Amino acid sequence: MPVNCEPLRKILELEHKKGYTDSAVFGGLDRFLGNWANQAITSITEPKLLLRFHRLRLADSNYASLSMEQRQEWVSKVLSFLPQLKRPEGKGDKAKVVLKVSRPASRAKRPPAKQSLDSPITIIKGISQGIATKLNKLGVSTVRDLLYFFPNRHLDYSQVKSISQLAEGNEETIIAHVWQARQVTLGGRRSTEVIVGDDTGNVRAVWFNNPYLVKQLATNKQVVLSGRVGLFQGRPVFQSPEWEILDDKELVHTGRLVPIYPLTQGLRPRQLRKLMKGVVDQWAGSLADFLPPELRERLKLLELPQALSQAHFPEDDDLKARARLRLAFDELILLQLGVLSKKRNWQQSPPAHPFTVKTTVLETFLKTLPFELTAAQHRVLSEILADLAKPQPMCRLLQGEVGSGKTVVATAALLMAAAGGHQGAFMAPTEILAEQHFGNICHFLSRSGHRETEEDYLHSYSGLLARPLTVALLIGDIKEAQKLELQQHIQAGEIDIVIGTHALIQKGVAFKQLALAVVDEQHRFGVSQRSALRQKGHNPHVLVMTATPIPRTLALTLYGDLDLSVIDELPPGRQLIKTKWLKPQQRQSAYAFLRRQVAAGRQAFIICPLVEESEVIQARAATAEYEHLSHEVFPELRLGLLHGRMSAVEKDEVMRRFRSGRLDILVSTPVVEVGIDVANAAVMLVESADRFGLSQLHQFRGRVGRGSEQSYCMFLAENPSEVGMERLDIIERVQDGFELAEEDLRLRGPGEFFGTRQSGLPDLKMAKLSDVALLELARNEATRLFSQDPGLKKPEHQPLAKELGRVWPQSAEWS
């Protein structure tokens, strides 16, 4: 029967908190201990455990007479012993014992005065320049880095068996005496062989190709061996096990949860582990716990030094889990605080251009649209307009399912900027999309105003504002002379709304007064590009739009500097898109289906197989596919080709023909993924669909179903992997973008989900972005801290402010 250790544990922890003043229980600890131990001892049957129990002198303690330091040492010993008592002793498992590994805190060596956590690792004994260079390659240059250089995993060597219990094939640990050690030749290699024994028997251990161990494993030494048990001539044998001499030092390589560090060429696992043990013992204690004590206690988090040492050399699984929790929480709360403070800085910066919303202009615009805005569009538009009227610059993330109508909302906002005499910019990730936005915006505007001039890249409309409203398209592909001309107009403030690609954030582009920047498809742009666009104006309002639905918590974490708006409703009349995952042998019937749809007046997309990231190769493959389809499969139909290597003029020409119904099928590389909008397109066929992520597949599907006709989406997969099949199965079942995003996140993990790693965000080593509960907790705590003490100026928040300055050096206000 397990012993109830809780009362004792609680009391000892209290004693620790009270500074070892023997005040945790009324009447003193000794009396309490005596009673507790006399009860506990009756439940312990296992001899080794009993021995340890006696050694701790719980039954006849003399705590009262110990010095402060001795008390501390003793309490920590008992605390680390207690978890073993709690484990029920299994049947036939009698000799099982857990080796205790904790080192009392008071024995930890203190680092020399002049050295600090930020000293280079070469100050550590045992780290030569050579080793330092190798560690540097792993991103470890200071002592602090080393403390945060965590093992990938742990091997559980904590359960000690007797030799008679060893089972072949298992990872086992024994404590035994060396009876004999000698050099032998095994397979032509000089090796070490030892025979060790305990009360229950003997066993052989061999280390191939390592004759030098003989000296260390001398006869009569007591050793701990941990490793897989093999069989040799019918008898168990340890082959190259981890080994350690049992002395009064703490075990590092055996008999415990043993850390496995990321390996680096030229650093032996044993060497690195020993080194880490030394570093953790010597330095973990000097880390200041930066979490406010109130918070740490309320959330029952481990103290930082303990969390660090337990993350490396845990005493048991439970402490290891608690250590990881504490460290993950640290990362997330620092991330949250950093993001929140960025937002605060940004909003405190000198005011942008406050807009007065010209209601008449807005009303005219909305009235002349070919449709009514949905309720969600109305709501989001008023959120945006309210932001624009404020003296702080807006920073808002607009999420909306593909086809939910984000563009028209952005257009209304851009129009308001123009109406107020300011400039607006709209940045799209590809030229095709920029052109499409330009086309759409011009189309909307032409319904409410009169087209005055229409050059290729520059339109102007009268009737809406007191002066003509000019809209320009700036993409990399236009002629140099024209580009220069556009740039001059932009600089002179003669263009109200500029739509473009990255070309917008290039050097030559300067706005006279950019007041609103809209960024479409945020996930395609890094944080740096977003801020580059911001730099083009004097604190412009920023609206970021994305059709990749990001689960809310995650959005709040990664884009926590942005306010969130969601269009959670599709325009009326949209139908569910019938989705089917097709097997290779169904290709012909897919083609037949496509033919019938075209005969019925619909149009179709065919997305080419994903070949490589290179646009050149992608384009070549698409061209080949196009040739094949137009000559051999659909010779009677009108096919067009779209890929990233075509000039803007060519692309535009193809898109125009497709949109106006002069093409039946558009064969395209995955560039068509986002944004392209053709109402009559009712069929989407995606080749090698198993190679795309869920969000991407969903984007493809979003290209159809824009009109009122029933639309279809077919996914072809030649030889899908297991994950590929899982994705296809999900996309077939699920239409909701948010639900898909959650699934995608689950399948791919956040790193891949967001494409390249988010620049500008601190590293997450322990935390997982998929851990929603912890994310939420960290966010709540960060918000709470900020509301209580916005500048983290209170004395109890100083360490936190300092740590924040360290991990987010760019926000200077913390340091």
With CB under 5 to 8 Å by kind, the binding choice for 650 among ligand ADP, Mg ion, none is none
Shortest gap between Cβ of 436 and ligand ADP (angstroms)?
8
Q: Which residue has the tokens 């390996």?
A: 263
Shortest gap between Cβ of 559 and ligand ADP (angstroms)?
18
Rounded CA-CA distance 412/414 in Å is: 5
Q: Which residue has the tokens 């067009």?
A: 640
Shortest gap between Cβ of 688 and ligand ADP (angstroms)?
24
Shortest gap between Cβ of 522 and ligand ADP (angstroms)?
12
Is 400 a binding residue for ligand ADP by CB under 6 A? The answer is yes
**Cα 680–chain centre separation:** 39
Please tell me the count of residues contacting Mg ion according to CB under 5 A: 1
> Both ends of the chain: CA-CA distance in Å?
54
Rounded CA-CA distance 280/733 in Å is: 50
Furthest C-alpha separation in the chain: 101
User: Among the candidate windows 87-95, 400-408, 498-506, 663-671, which touches ligand ADP by CB under 6 A?
Assistant: 400-408
User: Among the candidate windows 279-287, 402-410, 423-431, 494-502, which touches ligand ADP by CB under 6 A?
Assistant: 402-410
Q: Which helix or strand (DSSP H or E) is residue 599 part of?
A: helix 587-599
Shortest gap between Cβ of 405 and Mg ion (angstroms)?
9
Shortest gap between Cβ of 746 and ligand ADP (angstroms)?
24
User: Among the candidate windows 255-263, 297-305, 403-411, 798-806, which touches ligand ADP by CB under 6 A?
Assistant: 403-411
Is 403 a binding residue for ligand ADP by CB under 6 A? The answer is yes
Is 377 a binding residue for ligand ADP by CB under 6 A? The answer is yes
With CB under 5 to 8 Å by kind, the binding choice for 400 among Mg ion, ligand ADP, none is ligand ADP
Shortest gap between Cβ of 519 and ligand ADP (angstroms)?
13
- 203, 238 contact by CB (below 8 A): yes
Own/partner pairs, 238-242, CB within 8 angstroms, 24+ separation: 238/203, 238/204, 238/205, 238/206, 239/205, 239/206, 239/208, 240/206, 240/207, 240/208, 240/210, 241/205, 242/157, 242/270
Nearer to ligand ADP, 79 or 402 (CB): 402
Is 677 a binding residue for ligand ADP by CB under 6 A? The answer is yes
Of 407, 460, 501, 546, the one binding ligand ADP by CB under 6 A? 407
Q: What is the DSSP letter of 350?
A: S
Please choose, from the candidates 765, 764, 763, 744, the residue with its C-alpha nearest in 3D space to the C-alpha of residue 755: 744
Rounded CA-CA distance 236/259 in Å is: 26
Q: Which residue is nearest to ligand ADP (CB)?
A: 405
- 442, 411 contact by CB (below 8 A): no
Of 176, 402, 413, 475, the one binding ligand ADP by CB under 6 A? 402
Nearer to ligand ADP, 241 or 403 (CB): 403
- 713, 694 contact by CB (below 8 A): no
Is 405 a binding residue for ligand ADP by CB under 6 A? The answer is yes
Rounded CA-CA distance 333/480 in Å is: 48
Residue 334 structure tokens: 């620092």
Of 706, 727, 779, 797, the one binding ligand ADP by CB under 6 A? 706
Please choose, from the candidates 606, 726, 624, the residue with its C-alpha nearest in 3D space to the C-alpha of residue 670: 606
With CB under 5 to 8 Å by kind, the binding choice for 13 among ligand ADP, Mg ion, none is none
Residue 754 structure tokens: 């967001």
With CB under 5 to 8 Å by kind, the binding choice for 408 among Mg ion, ligand ADP, none is ligand ADP
Shortest gap between Cβ of 731 and ligand ADP (angstroms)?
18
DSSP collapsed to 3 states, 143-156: HHHHHCCCCCEEEE
With CB under 5 to 8 Å by kind, the binding choice for 402 among ligand ADP, Mg ion, none is ligand ADP
- 666, 604 contact by CB (below 8 A): yes
Shortest gap between Cβ of 670 and ligand ADP (angstroms)?
17
Shortest gap between Cβ of 308 and Mg ion (angstroms)?
46
Chain residues 670-699 in contact with Mg ion, contact rule CB under 5 A: 675
Nearer to ligand ADP, 403 or 720 (CB): 403
Nearer to ligand ADP, 151 or 400 (CB): 400
- Residues in CB range of 217: below 8 A, 6 or more apart: 178, 181, 192, 194, 223, 243, 245
Burial class (CB in 10 A: 0-12, 13-18, 19+), 285: middle
Q: Which helix or strand (DSSP H or E) is residue 362 part of?
A: helix 359-368
Nearer to Mg ion, 310 or 404 (CB): 404
Angstrom CA distances, 452 to 408, 435, 464, 491, stand at 22, 20, 12, 21
Shortest gap between Cβ of 252 and ligand ADP (angstroms)?
57
Nearer to Mg ion, 377 or 597 (CB): 377
Please choose, from the candidates 708, 733, 730, the residue with its C-alpha nearest in 3D space to the C-alpha of residue 720: 730
Is 547 a binding residue for ligand ADP by CB under 6 A? The answer is yes
Chain residues 330-349 in contact with Mg ion, contact rule CB under 5 A: none
Nearer to ligand ADP, 381 or 792 (CB): 381
Of 282, 341, 404, 579, the one binding ligand ADP by CB under 6 A? 404
Please tell me the count of residues contacting ligand ADP according to CB under 6 A: 18
Number of other residues whose CB lies within 10 A of the CB of residue 128: 9
Rounded CA-CA distance 815/796 in Å is: 15
Rounded CA-CA distance 606/594 in Å is: 10
With CB under 5 to 8 Å by kind, the binding choice for 548 among Mg ion, ligand ADP, none is none
Angstrom CA distances, 660 to 349, 678, 710, stand at 47, 9, 20
Shortest gap between Cβ of 405 and ligand ADP (angstroms)?
3
Is 371 a binding residue for ligand ADP by CB under 6 A? The answer is yes
Amino acid identity at 609: P
Is 374 a binding residue for ligand ADP by CB under 6 A? The answer is yes
Is 603 a binding residue for ligand ADP by CB under 6 A? The answer is no
Is 373 a binding residue for ligand ADP by CB under 6 A? The answer is yes
With CB under 5 to 8 Å by kind, the binding choice for 686 among ligand ADP, Mg ion, none is none
Please choose, from the candidates 435, 442, 379, the residue with its C-alpha nearest in 3D space to the C-alpha of residue 415: 442
User: Among the candidate windows 205-213, 555-563, 669-677, 780-788, which touches Mg ion by CB under 5 A?
Assistant: 669-677
Please choose, from the candidates 507, 433, 337, the residue with its C-alpha nearest in 3D space to the C-alpha of residue 675: 433
Of 408, 469, 499, 566, the one binding ligand ADP by CB under 6 A? 408
Rounded CA-CA distance 339/559 in Å is: 8
Nearer to ligand ADP, 201 or 571 (CB): 571
- 518, 424 contact by CB (below 8 A): yes
User: Among the candidate windows 120-128, 137-145, 276-284, 668-676, which touches Mg ion by CB under 5 A?
Assistant: 668-676
3-state secondary structure at position 98:
strand
With CB under 5 to 8 Å by kind, the binding choice for 509 among ligand ADP, Mg ion, none is none
Q: Are strands 189-198 and 171-186 parallel, antiparallel or unpaired?
A: antiparallel
498, 415, 413, 534 alpha-carbon torsion, rounded to 10°: 30
Of 103, 161, 406, 643, the one binding ligand ADP by CB under 6 A? 406
Binding site for Mg ion (CB under 5 A): 675
Binding site for ligand ADP (CB under 6 A): 371-374, 377, 400, 402-408, 547, 571, 675, 677, 706
